[in-house]
Amino acid sequence: MLRRRPTEIVWGLIAAMVLAPCAACQQQPGAPKPDAAKPGSDSGSPEGGEQPGGPTQPDAPLDLGYLTETATFAGVVHPRRALTDPELELLPIEVLSAAGKKEMGIDPLDVEQVLVMAEPPLQGNPPQAGVVVRFSKPHKLDQILPQLQAATVADTLDGKAYRRGRTPMDLSLYAVDDRTLLMAHDELLRRMLSGESDATKGLAGKLLSESGSVNDVAAVLAVEPLRPLVAGQIAMAPLPPAFESVRKIPELLSAVEATVSLSGGMRMALVLHAEDEAAAEELETIIVGLLDTAQRMIHAQMTQAVGTQGDDPVQQAAMQYVQRINKRFMEAMKPKRDGSRLEFATEGQSEAQIATIGILIALLLPAIQAAREAARRAKSVNNMKQIMLAMHVHHDARKRFPARANFDENGKPLLSWRVHILPYIDEEPLYRQFKLDEPWDSPHNRELIAKMPDIYRNPSSLAEPGMSDYLVVTGEGTMFEGTEGRRYSDVRDGTSNTIVLVEVDPEEAVIWTKPDDWELDPDDPLAGLGYAHPAGFGAGFGDGSVQTIPADVDPEVFKAMCTIAGREQVSRDF
């Protein structure tokens, strides 16, 4: 595990090294700047020296030329500006430089600006992401980012050579010139290069254009495109009564903006942009109320930890300290309202910085996690759609759906349907490697378990490699009962009302080649289902469609939809 992820380990160690020196090299606002030598310079020389990345150049202007106006997230970092600032000389710049060259082929000191963007998931498709890197000196595309290069193939775009991602989920690499590199999903890359989008017309681009040039780090999340998704996730989350007001926050927010300036006292700010002044006032009331509730809960826990029995003066003094620190931290976390803005900010105060970091995590992490889970769920839905399409192509070719397995002369199941539809999901070469007259666990066929196509795995699953989360429905009266595949005419309830494929809980996943699937239990129709995703689990219907089924679906309705000829009157409006 550790050998497979050296990049994450290196950068994790660097991050840990950065935290301590940051506090030591801060200045109080208004204090004169020290006459510090830059890293790599001769501190005894009047002229100083050159940075490890070369002589300091004027800051490049903020360039949002490739940012799309539909981006829901946009962030910018100015690595060279921050790393060459004399006030941050205690940072491990040499380590950052060496690690960047080793892992990516890029010296961070040569990077003027990194622009990151993401667009919201649309129509069940995963979100598109893109990165624009501006260098301070020429770079050759074929000499950097080896790990990303490995997931691309040579191609041309508008007559110019570039590296196209091997799959729609891989990033493409496009060198605009020797100082500008674009990395994005291919569809987004083409829109970035079209020049038809005005970033400042979008909320994320507009806010970033105002704060991205004056801060070392700036990020904006436009909430409106994600509001239904975030609100849905929060609505399903079990919250204590004291925190029920959290559910209303997505309705009040239009954007979240975070900025960090590492020089001049290290200023950090988090700004919540409300829909209007009334929404800002209501949002402030909710946040203050939540902080007061948190303060009371923390106070109660600290009181219990310190102890309140007896008249010991030391114990009483400890309680006074607990109350003072608790109050100070909570006061530091309260926002300042200005019109439709709520700002959490600190400058040169370490305890307030800690509070701001806590707020950033508390407010942004749920939204980010929700967006990531939405992307994984969209990918899983797409996997199931491709599986259902393969089953229909199988029916077109062989006049029936695949059976749940093939069987030997004694009726023993040998290989799963997942093996037999391989030719219909562009896996013909893998299909030809199987010995179809041998069981799944024969010495030969067992070797192929490790080659499971990604289409058979739920991206959110914690199941072991080689385990599939997509199982067909078996049991009496179901689509995959018996040893023969069904025909369309067998489905008397209608293919659009009949569930044939389910996304099971991780612990219910099976070895993909094994003829083992989900069996309908009439007494417990939802056994093994409901936790594939926070929103529920996916179900593939006989007509090829896929729908997310909530975990609290009526078991009797679900059971009726798993049979092919029960003649029940059911609705897919869950």
Hey, what are 161's tokens? 């050579």
pLDDT tens-place values along the chain, 574 residues long? 333 444 444 444 444 434 433 443 333 333 333 333 333 333 333 333 333 333 333 455 788 889 988 899 999 999 998 888 887 777 788 888 888 888 888 999 999 999 999 988 776 677 889 999 999 999 887 888 888 888 899 999 989 999 999 988 899 999 999 999 999 999 999 989 987 777 778 888 888 888 767 788 999 999 888 888 887 777 777 777 878 888 888 889 889 999 988 766 678 888 999 999 999 999 999 988 888 887 777 766 655 554 444 455 655 666 666 667 667 777 777 888 999 999 887 655 455 454 444 444 444 545 566 677 888 899 999 999 999 999 999 999 999 999 999 999 999 999 999 999 999 999 999 999 999 999 999 999 999 999 999 999 999 888 899 999 999 999 999 999 999 999 999 999 899 999 999 999 999 999 999 999 999 999 999 999 998 988 899 999 999 999 999 988 999 999 999 999 888 888 888 7
How many angstroms from the chain centroid is the CA of residue 443?
Answer: 39
Q: What is the pLDDT of residue 480?
A: 95
Rounded distance between C-alpha atoms, residue 350 and residue 331, angstroms:
14
Torsion of CA 221, 224, 225, 229, to 10 degrees: 100
Please give the pLDDT value at position 113. 92
Helices (H), 399-523: 417-420, 428-431, 443-446
pLDDT, residue 216, reads: 87
Q: What 8-state DSSP symbol labels residue 508?
A: G
**Nearest-angstrom CA–CA distance, 148 and 497:** 43
Residue 348 CB neighbour total at 10 angstroms:
16
User: Using alpha carbons only, how large is the chain's radius of gyration in Å?
Assistant: 29
Q: Taking the CA atoms of 135, 141, 147 and 149 in sequence, report the sign of the dihedral they define.
A: positive
Ramachandran angles phi, psi of 66, nearest 5°: -100, 0
Contacts of 325 (CB under 8 A, 6+ apart): none
What's the Cα-to-Cα distance from 50 to each of 82, 92, 105, 139, rounded to whole Å? 15, 17, 21, 20
- Which amino acid is it at 334? K
Q: Kindly state the helix (H) or strand (E) to which residue 298 belongs, with its residue range.
A: helix 277-306
Q: What is the pLDDT of residue 248?
A: 87
Is 521:536 a contact under the CB 8 Å cutoff? no
Query: Distances in Å between the alpha carbon of 483 and those of 12, 262, 269, 434, 479?
Result: 53, 67, 64, 20, 11
Helix boundaries (H) for 90-239:
93-104, 146-149, 186-194, 203-211, 227-236
pLDDT of residue 46: 32
Which 3 state secondary structure label does DSSP give 228? Answer: helix
**Phi, then psi, of 10 in degrees rounded to 5:** -60, -50
CB 254 within 8 A of CB 276: no
CA-wise closest residue to 204 among 256, 242, 128, 146: 256
3-state secondary structure of 422: helix
**Could you give the CA distance from residue 170 to residue 539 in angstroms, rounded to a whole number?**
27
Q: In terms of DSSP H, where are the helices of 399-503?
A: 417-420, 428-431, 443-446
- 275 Cβ contact list (under 8 Å, min separation 6): 252, 253, 254, 340
Are residues 122 and 93 in contact, defined by beta-carbon separation less than 8 angstroms? no
E strands, 461-549, are: 467-468, 470-474, 499-503, 510-511, 518-519, 537-541, 546-549
Inter-residue contact 543 to 384 (CB < 8 Å): no
